[in-house]
A = this chain, B = another copy of it.
Amino acid sequence: MTRNTREDVVQAAGRLFAERGYHGTSMRDLGKELGLLGSSLYSHIDTKQELLVEVVERGGRLFQASAASALAVEGSAADRLRRFVAGHIDVVLDHVDEARTFLNEARSLEPAYRRRVVAARDRYEGVLRELLGAGAVDGSLAAGADPKLAGIFILSILNAVDRWFHEPGGIDRDALVDEIFSFVTAGIG
């Protein structure tokens, strides 16, 4: 019988928070997920809220790291935008639980933590906006649309990907990035 670690608890919490929501997940549910009693979880953590904070922070770090690595791409702003899109999709598909919880369960965070999430989202959106602006300057992207609105539209598309895209079957991940990138730059035609 292998024992459970704090890491197992955080991961299981992410799974259930993403699937049923914070308020839809009880500590006894979470225990059952690991073959434990609810009370046993308190050998690893102090409060349920602490689990939410940890999962959400992980989601935030993943998005932040992805944005940073997109900014580090050499080449045109369009190249960096492509990496931004690909990175976001990787986060959302490879870390569904953390990403979903970060995007959907922030309202269940205590106010101070929720504010940090909002700030993190704003910074992330700011990176995208600057990418669009830089593309208008270096000529690698069209300068037609309002970068603020364009950024919001792009994020709306990216954040929803995990709700409908499933591997395998249908197009693969690279093709999805291509489709989104071309929709973003040219719309339906």
Contact = CB atoms under 8 A, between A and B. Distances in A.
A7 B24 CA distance: 26
Copies in the complex: 2
Mostly, the A contact residues are helix
A23 B107 CA distance: 13
Given A108-B24, A156-B156, A160-B156, A189 B144 contact: yes
A167 to B, nearest CB: 15
Interface string A146-163: 100110110111011000
Interface of A: 20-24, 104, 107-108, 132, 141-146, 149-150, 152-153, 155-157, 159-160, 164, 179-180, 182-189
9 A-B pairs with the lowest CB-CB distances in the bound complex, closest first: A142-B189, A144-B189, A23-B23, A156-B160, A187-B187, A145-B188, A23-B24, A186-B187, A156-B157
